[in-house]
Amino acid sequence: MSTPAIAARRAAPDSSQNRYERSVYRNVALRLAALTALLLILSQGVLSFLLARTFEDNLLPEVRRRAEAAGELVAEQIGYGLSLGIPLRSMVEMDAFLDGALQDNPDFRHVAVVDPAGVAIYARGALAPSGRDSADLELEVPILDGRQASLLVQVQGGAVRSELAALRLDIGTVLLVTLLIGIELLLALVVVRVSGPIGMADRLLALSAKGDFGSRFGVRYRDEVGRFGQLLNGALQRINAAFAELVEEAEDAHEVQLDRGVQKRIRDVLAEIRTRFHFVAPGSETTLVSRSPMDVRIPLFLFMLAQEISRPFLPLFFDGIYTPIAGLSRELAIGLPITAFMTMVLISIPIAGALTDRVAPRGMFVAGIIPSVAGHVGTAFADTIGEGLMWWTLSGAGYGIIFISAQAYVAQHTDRSTRAVGMSGFLGAVFAAFVCGPAIGGMLADRLGYQQTLLVAGALAAVSAAAALVTIDPGGIDSVRSARVGLRGWLRLLADRELLLVTAFSALPSKLVLGGLFFYLVPLYLADLGNIQSNIGRVMMVYGVACVVVTPLVARSADRGRRPRWLMVAGGFVIAVGCALPALANTTGVVLAALAVMGAGHAMVTVTQLAVVQEIAQDASQRLGLGPGAIVGMYRTLERVGTAAGAMLVAAVAAAVSYGRAMLAVGGLVLVCTLLYIVIGRASRGAGRVST
C-alpha cells in the first residue's frame, strides 16, 4: 500500500483502522480493569481474613474484661451494703437493682448473687443451659472477700456474634468500595497516561506519513510513553535539521553555480520538496499535547467523594449542634443548612460559568477547592446551627464552582460527536463517588466522630486540588461560551407548556425526593431506628448502587424503544412506590428496600428526562428563539430548585408527622404529579403538543 493510501486510511475518521484502534484501547482498559479487580479481591480477601482472625482472637478477652469491669462495679455496690452490716438476704429492691444492671449492660444475659455453695440468692435474666455449645461467657466476681457471696455474670453469645457480624459487614463494604475506587482510578489513568498519549503518537506518525514534520510530541509524563515521545521528537528534529542542512547546501551550490539551467534545477528541486513535505526550523515544531475530558475525572471523583462522605451523618451533625432559631422548628432548623448549600450551588453555577469563559477550568477548579475546604473545616468546628449554616453555605459555593469548571473542561475538550462520551465519563465520576462516599463516611463517623470525619473530607478535597494541578491541562484552548439568557428568554421558556409539564410534574418532584428524603430525612430516619453510622452509610449506599445498575439499562431501553416519556412516567411510579414502603413496616430492612426502589426510579426518571428535554429543545428552539443548549441549561437550573427546596419542605412535613409518614406523603406527591403529567399531557396531545 502506498504512503498516500496509508495516510488517507489513517485520516479517515470512520475508517476500519480507527475502529480497530478504539477496540484495542477498549480491550486494554477492560483487561486492566479485570486484572485490577482480581488483584484487589485477592489482596483484600487475604487481608480481610487475617483481620477477622485477629479480631476474633482479641474480641473474647476484650468482652471478658469489659464484663469483669461492669461486674466488679455491681459487686462493689452490693459489698458496700454488706460492709454496713446489712444481711445479704435482707437487702431490699435487689431484683430491681439487678434489672438495672442488665439494662445498663446490654451484653449481660444473666446476673445472679450466689452463696459459696453456688445457690442463687437473687437472680435476674435468662440463664443459658449449662454445657451448651455457644459463645456465652460465664464469670464469677467475688463480693468483698467472696466468703459470703459472689456475683455470677453470664454474657450472651449474641454480643460476640453481633460484633463479628458488624466486622464482616465493614470488611465487605471496604472490599466493595476499594474495588470501585480502584477501577475508577485505573480507567482514568489508562486514558490519561496510556491510550490518550498513544493516540497522540499515532496522530503524529500519521502526519509524518503524509510528509508533515512540523509537529512534535508533547511529553507530559516521564513514563514509557513519554520516553517513546522523546525518541519520536528526536527523530523529527533530525529530519528537520537534515532538511535545513540540505537547503543550506543547495543555496551555497546555487550561489556558486554559473549555469542558469543548473540553478533553475536546484530551485525546482527545493520547491518540489517543499510542496510534497512540510518542514520547520529545528526546535520550532508545533507541540501536540494529549488532552482528554478524562483528565478531569480523577480530581472530580476525589472531590465528589469528599463531598459524599458527609452524606450519612450531616443532618445528625446539625441536630447535635442545634440551637433555637426564631420562628423555625427543630426539624426546619436542621434542614436549613442543607437547603442553603443547594441554594448556593444554584447561585454559584452561573457565576462560575461566566468566570470560566475568562479563567481556565483548572484555575477555577483549584479556586473552588478553597471555599469547599474552608466550609468543611469551619462546619467541623461549628458550635451552633447558625455557624454551621454559614460554613456549609460557603462549601456550597465551592461545590458549584468545581462542578461547572469540570463540566466546562469536558465541553472544551470534546466536539459534537464526542461530547456524549465525555459527559458519560463526567457522570461516571459523580456516580462512583455517590456509591462509595456514604459507606466510607458512615464507617469513619462511627469510629472517628462527626467532626474528625468532616476534617477528613476537607483534606480529601484538598488532595483533589493537587490532583487537578497534575492531570488537568492548564489551558491553551478557546473557551466554550454559552449564550446568555435574559429575562425575556426565561419568560418565553416558562410559557412553553411542554417543557413546563416535564419540569413541574417530573423534574421537580424527583429532585424533591433526592434533596428532601435522601439528603435530609433518611439519615435521621435510620438513626431513629437505632442504626449506628456504619449501617446508615451502608444502607444509603444502596441508593447509589441502584442508580448505577439501572442507568445503562434504561438508556439502552430508551434508545431502542424511542419512548422515553413512558419510561419517565414509569420512573415516577417506581419512586412513589419506594417512598410508600416504610409505611408497611418501621424497620431498617424496609428502608433499605425503599432506597433501592427509589434509586432505580431516580435513574429511570433522570436518564429519560434528559432525552425528553433535548427532544423538546430541538423542536422548540426556533419557536422560542433560544438555542437547544440554552434551553437544556435553563431546564437544569429549574430542576435544581427542587433539590434546594427539598430539605425544608420535607422538614416541615416531618415536624408534623413521623418519618415514615413523611416519606409516604412525599411519595403521594410524586404519584399525583406523575398522574397529572399523564392527564394534562394527553389533553395537550389533542392540540398536537405533548405525547406520552
Are residues 519 and 390 both part of a single domain?
Answer: no
Mean pLDDT of 40-69: 74
pLDDT(474) > 70: yes
Q: Which residues contact 413 (CB under 8 A, 6 or more apart)?
A: 291, 292, 293, 295, 422, 473, 477
Neighbours of 304 (CB within 10 A): 24
140: closest CA among 128, 130, 149, 131? 149
Q: Is the confidence at residue 7, as pLDDT, over 50?
A: no
Which residue's C-alpha cell is 437550573?
A: 637
Which of the four pLDDT bands, split at 50, 70 and 90, describes residue 684? low
**CA torsion angle 57 59 61 67 (round to 10):** -160
Which residue is listed with cell 526550523?
A: 281
Residue 373 belongs to domain with CATH number: 1.20.1250.20
Query: b/e string for 340-365 if b means 16 or more Cβ within 10 A?
Result: bbbbbbbebbbebbebbeebbbbbbb
State how far the Cα of 389 lies from the Cα of 375, in Å rounded to an integer. Answer: 10
pLDDT at residue 316 above 50? Answer: yes
Q: Are residues 138 and 269 located together in one domain of the fold?
A: no
Q: What is the pLDDT of residue 486?
A: 56
Return d(Cα 308, Cα 314) in angstroms, integer: 10
**Residue 507 CB contacts under 8 Å (≥ 6 apart), including other chains:** 609, 635, 638, 639, 642
pTM recorded for the entire structure: 0.75
Of the segments 94-98, 265-269, 360-364, 462-466, which one has the largest average pLDDT value? 462-466
- Please give the pLDDT value at position 624: 66
Task: Report the C-alpha gap between 365 and 400 in whole angstroms.
Answer: 10
Residue type, 174: V
- pLDDT of 371-382, one tens digit each? 999 999 999 999
Q: Residue 630's pLDDT is what? A: 66
- The verdict on 365 and 218 lying in the same domain is no
Q: In 3-state terms, what secondary structure has residue 408?
A: helix
Q: What mean pLDDT do residues 275-295 have?
A: 75
Same-domain status, 310 and 442? yes
Q: Domain end: 249, 270, 290, which one?
A: 290
Quickly state the pLDDT bin for 674 (edges 50, 70, 90).
Answer: very high
Question: Can you list the pairs that 58-63 forms with residues at least 24 positions away whose Cβ atoms lie under 8 Å?
Answer: 59/160, 59/163, 59/164, 60/135, 60/137, 60/160, 63/107, 63/137, 63/155, 63/159, 63/160
What is each CA distance from 501 to 321, 601, 690, in whole angstroms? 40, 19, 9
Q: Helix (H, G, I), strand (E, B), or coil: what is residue 111?
A: strand
Spatial contact of 308 and 460, defined as CB atoms under 8 Å apart: no
Q: Which residue has the higher pLDDT, 430 or 164?
A: 430
Same-domain check for residues 372 and 503: no
In this structure, how many other beta carbons lie within 10 angstroms of the beta carbon of residue 536? 29
Check pLDDT > 70 for residue 42.
yes
User: How much is the pLDDT for 593?
Assistant: 94
- C-alpha cell of 49? 481474613
Same-domain pairing of 607 and 635: yes
Alpha carbons 615 and 365: distance in angstroms, whole number: 31
Task: For 334, list phi and psi in degrees, rounded to 5.
Answer: -65, -35
Strand-strand pairing, 286-288 and 215-217 = parallel
Please tell me the distance from the alpha carbon of residue 438 to that of residue 529, in angstroms, as a whole number: 18
Tell me what the mean pLDDT of segment 20-35 comes to. Answer: 66
Q: What are phi and psi of 288, to 5 degrees?
A: -100, 120
Task: Let me know whether 415 and 544 are in one domain.
Answer: no
What pLDDT does residue 388 have?
93
Number of domains in the chain: 4
Ordered alpha helix ranges (H), 495-587: 497-502, 508-512, 522-528, 533-561, 564-580
CA 490 to chain CA centroid, nearest Å: 32
Handedness of CA 491, 495, 498, 502 (dihedral sign): positive
Q: Could you report the per-residue pLDDT of 563-604, keeping only the tens digit for each? A: 778 888 999 999 999 999 998 888 999 999 999 999 999 988
Do 459 and 407 reside in the same domain of the chain? yes
Quick one: average pLDDT of 335-341?
92
Per-residue pLDDT, averaged over 332-337, amounts to 92
Say if residue 147 is in the same domain as residue 283: no
The answer to which of 109-118, 216-225, 511-520, 665-674 has the lowest mean pLDDT is: 216-225
Q: Which of 456, 482, 508 is the last residue of a domain?
A: 482
Distance, in Å, from the CA atom of 36 to the CA atom of 643, rounded to the nearest integer, reads: 36
CA distance 661 to 657: 6
pLDDT at residue 135, as a whole number: 47
Q: Taking residues 518-523, report their average pLDDT.
A: 92
Kindly list the distances between the CA atom of residue 250 and the CA atoms of 214, 257, 268, in Å, as whole numbers in the listed order. 21, 10, 11
Angle at 50 between CA 47 and CA 56, to 5 degrees: 135
Average predicted confidence (pLDDT) for the chain:
79
| Last residue within a domain, chosen from 191, 206, 221 | 206
**Greater pLDDT, 19 or 113:** 113
List the grid coordinates of 468.
487537578
Helix (H, G, I), strand (E, B) or coil at 424: helix
Bridge-partner residues for 151, per DSSP?
113, 141
Side-chain half-sphere CA neighbours of 247 within 13 A: 15
Confidence grade of residue 13 (pLDDT, cut at 50, 70, 90): very low
- Tell me which H or E stretch contains 143: strand 137-143
Average pLDDT score over residue span 265-281:
80
Q: Could you give the CA distance from residue 659 to residue 524 in angstroms, rounded to a whole number?
A: 8
Q: Are 659 and 521 in contact (CB under 8 A)?
A: yes
- Beta partners for residue 217, in sequence order: 288
Residues 144 and 281 in one domain: no
**Would you give the DSSP letter of residue 219?**
-
> Do 130 and 56 sit in the same domain of this protein?
yes
Domain hosting residue 47, numbered range = 1-206
Q: Retrieve residue 670's grid coordinates.
A: 410524586
First to last CA, the chain: 55
Residues 401 and 409: their CA atoms lie apart, in Å, by 12
CA 40 to chain centre: 20
279 and 356 co-located in one domain: no
Tell me the pLDDT band of 12, cut-offs 50, 70 and 90.
very low
CA dihedral 662, 335, 365, 225 (to 10 degrees): -40
> If DSSP states are collapsed to H, E and C, what string results for 586-605?
CCHHHHHHHHHHHHHHHHHH
DSSP type of residue 644? H
Is 658 strand, coil or helix? coil
Q: In angstroms, rounded to a whole number, what is the distance separating the alpha carbons of residues 270 and 280?
A: 14
High-pLDDT (> 90) share of the chain, %: 24
Q: Which range (288-292, 468-472, 473-477, 636-640) has the least confidence? A: 473-477
